[in-house]
Each structure stands twice: as structure tokens, then as C-alpha cells.
Structure 1
Amino acid sequence: MKVNSVSKLNKKIIRCEKCPRLVTYIRKVSVEKVKRHKGEKYWGRPLSGFGDLHAQLLIIGLAPAAHGGNRTGRMFTGDSSGDWVSRVLFENGFATKPTSKHVGDGFALINAYITAAVKCAPPDNKPSNQEICTCSDYLVQEILLLKDVTVIVCLGKIAFDALRKILNIKNQKFSHGSRFSYGNKLILCSYHPSRQNTQTGRLSWYQWNKIFSEVKSILN
């Protein structure tokens, strides 16, 4: 069922139980936790997107992190990927502060909205094709409801492939720094700021920052 506002959509996302494997996993993680977060209460539910409802910039990630967003209740919050996202957005004028640690910390997006291809943390950060497909309807609705978006940044191949499928984009492949037009929107691709990429040097800060400085130049 379609909804007519982002807030209604987000409430629907949070209640979603369409993927049994993911529902089981995020609940399990929220009970078992990890040692460094043992005393904390985990969110442990699907995560909606967040940000400026009139944003021109839409950022699509892979999925919430098991001990990041799935713990804190906000995308890219409380983990190393979130550290890279919050800092680069702040440095380019898309966020109020350079850190995103927990809900209520004063971090807010400016002219940007963040979501993910999959709304639940998947085991080993690997959602199945069926889970991506099941969740794609939420991404479709987000794109329809965020009417002012003119630039979309896909963080990683899974995010790009999810977007490509729902928009029926052909003859475009994922690579870091690639960009192309789709209707009235510009789509840019970046490696995901996961530790697997940032700690191995596959994604340098220069490469990462260049993506968002390009977006800043486009929107200014």
C-alpha cells in the first residue's frame, strides 16, 4: 500500500516484518550485543531514512550496521562508516556537525536525506537478492515522496544495483566516481565507506571527499 507522506512511510518501514531472516537477526543482535555496547539498549527494528524532507541530495547506503544504526536507531550513526559520512557531509555543508554518535546528539542533515537499499541489518552485511527486492518498494516510495531530489549518491554496488533496478536504468555499471543523468536527476557512485574499503586504502579520504565536493558544486 502506497502512502502520501515520508512520515507515514517511515512508520510503515519501522513496523515491517517481511523478511524473516533479517527480523530474526536484528532481534538476536539486539539481545546478544557485543562487549563494547553490552550495557546499551539496541533499537533492533527496521530503520527508516532521515534528513531534510525538501533535500536536493539523496544518499543511498547498503543497510544499517548491526552495531551502528541497528543499535542507535539512525542510519550511519555510531560506527566507523557513520564517522566518514558525518564528517564529509559537515565539511561540504550538508550537516550541522562532523559527528553522528546517537539520536539526540544535535547531528542533522542540511539539504540531504539518507536511506538504504535494505532497511534491516543483514548478517555479514550481505542481504539476499530476495531481501533487496522485497525492500525495494520502500526505496521507490522514498524517491517518489522526496520530490526535490536532483542528485542521488549511491554508496556501493548493492545500493547502485537496487536503484538501477527500480528505475530500469540500462547500460550503466558501478564504479567509484561514475556519474550519469537520469531524467532530471544526476546519479553519482562511490565505494561504500566500510572499514573493508577505508582501512585497506581502496577508498581514500580524498576520493571520498571529492564525491561530495562535486555534489556541493552541482547544487550551489
Structure 2
Amino acid sequence: MSVLDGKPGPVDPPRECPACPRLVEFREELRAVHPDWHNAPVPSFGAENPRLLVVGLAPGMKGANRSGRPFTGDYAGHLLYQTMLDYGFAEGTYEARPDDGLVLKDAMITNAVRCLPPQNKPTGEEIRTCRPFLLATLAANPSITAVLALGRIAHETFLTALELRRAEFPFAHGAKHDLPGYDLSLFDSYHCSRYNTNTGRLTQEMFTSVFDKIRRHLS
């Protein structure tokens, strides 16, 4: 029996999720300063019956935490959504706002931790507390066969959620891991953050090469 067996629970936390006191406190501070922002757990965004799941670590302050849609409003979203458009995983125009009309095709985007953490760094306990929503998202979408982890921490968090030994599946940009016991292949990429692209750690060509592999896998 895998951790995905059984009836899945809710796939997204409630808007006033009380589970992580530090994140709740940070949320309330930001609501006082930016009352027009989303400032709440960010739900997954995607198509029905997706085959690709993109997993980030947590919402960005001026991205998903402001807009309410994963990777929407910050630099990482520009690179991610344009690449998904180029590879047929999205259609429309990405304009960095949740009402831009962009829709995903055969894909879903989520975060391992649904609330914004201070300094963009969730604690291990916060990651564990939010794990049921990641597992419920997988269980509710059995069509998923490919998972793209954006960054090492998202990669390791995903493996731990499935109770797989991280040492057996080391993170490496461009790597593909077939996960035993699951009809899933895990693909790795450096995170598409401005820092990684500005420093040359991740180039557009490196990012698209990962999507090349994903598209071939799904085909």
C-alpha cells in the first residue's frame, strides 16, 4: 500500500488555515500592510486530468502570495509560463495576473507549502504539516505520470512525501527518476528564479531541455 491509497482528503487548505502558527502570524502582518493582496494559502492551478505536475516549494511574497495563483507575478512565473506555453502545456497569454485568461493544458502547478514563509524558507515542521495537501493533490489526480521538481528542496520534499529514500534519487538538473511503487517519473530542474538565471546557474536552454525530456516522456 502506498501513501496515495485510500480516499484523498482536501487538495487545498482553507483560506484561514490555522495549522502553522508562524505562517499565520506572517500572513496577518502582511494583511495589515497589503490588504489588497491574496495573503492566504495558494491553491493549485491546472487542468482537469493533468499528466504533468509542477512542484515548487512555497509561494513568493510578490508572486503567488500577492496574486493568489502559483508562480504568478514574479520573475520565475515569466520563465515557467512562457516555457509551458511553448511546449503546449498552456494556452493564452501570461500577463502576471490571475485574470489574464491563461489556462493550463494537461498540467497542474502546486507548491509543497501553500503559505508564504518568512525569508522564503519554510521549516521542516511546516513542510510536514502541509504534506497531506500535496498527497491529496496526487491522489485526486491519478492521471499524473510526470512530476517536475523546481529546485533541490522541492525534489527532496516530494520524495519524502512519498516515503522514498532521498539518497536513492539524488537531485541533479535534468535528471529523470522513475519512482518504484508509483506510476510516476520525477524530473529535476534548478528553480527558475531570477537569482539562478542572473547568475547563469540556469539558462533558458537548460530549462527548455528539461521540458524536452518531459514532452518526450509523455509522448
TM above 0.5 = yes
User: How far off its partner does 1:29 sit?
Assistant: 2.5
1:172 aligns with 2:169: yes
The within-5 A match list for 1:26-65 is 26-33=27-34, 41-65=36-60
CA distance in 1, matches of 2:95, 2:16: 24
CA distance in 2, matches of 1:26, 1:58: 26
The corresponding residue for 1:145 is 140
The corresponding residue for 1:196 is 195
The corresponding residue for 1:187 is 186
AA matched with 1:58: L
Retained in 1: the 8 A contact 2:135–2:161?
A: yes
Retained in 2: the 8 A contact 1:55–1:148?
A: yes
Retained in 1: the 8 A contact 2:11–2:134?
A: no
User: How far off its partner does 1:165 sit?
Assistant: 0.6
The verdict on how the C-alpha distance between 1:13 and 1:206 changes in structure 2, with shifts beyond 3 A counting, is farther
AA matched with 1:187: L
How much is the aligned-residue C-alpha RMSD, in angstroms?
1.9
AA matched with 2:11: L
Between the aligned residues of both structures, percent identity stands at 33
User: How far off its partner does 1:31 sit?
Assistant: 3.1
The corresponding residue for 1:91 is 86
The corresponding residue for 2:62 is 67
Unaligned runs of 5+ in 1: 34-39
Deviations 1:44-98 (Å, cap 9, x if unpaired)?
Answer: 1011111012000001001111111111110000110111111110010001135
Retained in 2: the 8 A contact 1:26–1:70?
A: no
CA distance in 1, matches of 2:93, 2:176: 26
How many residues align? The count is: 211
1:19 aligns with 2:20: yes
CA distance in 1, matches of 2:184, 2:8: 21
The corresponding residue for 1:36 is none
User: How far off its partner does 1:213 sit?
Assistant: 1.8
User: How far off its partner does 1:100 sit?
Assistant: 4.5
Paired residue secondary structure (1:89): helix
Paired residue secondary structure (2:84): helix
AA matched with 2:175: S
Worse overlay, 90-99 or 202-211: 90-99
User: How far off its partner does 1:4 sit?
Assistant: 5.9
The verdict on how the C-alpha distance between 1:26 and 1:161 changes in structure 2, with shifts beyond 3 A counting, is same
The verdict on how the C-alpha distance between 1:201 and 1:106 changes in structure 2, with shifts beyond 3 A counting, is same
AA matched with 2:76: S
The corresponding residue for 1:134 is 129
Paired residue secondary structure (1:9): coil
AA matched with 2:39: G
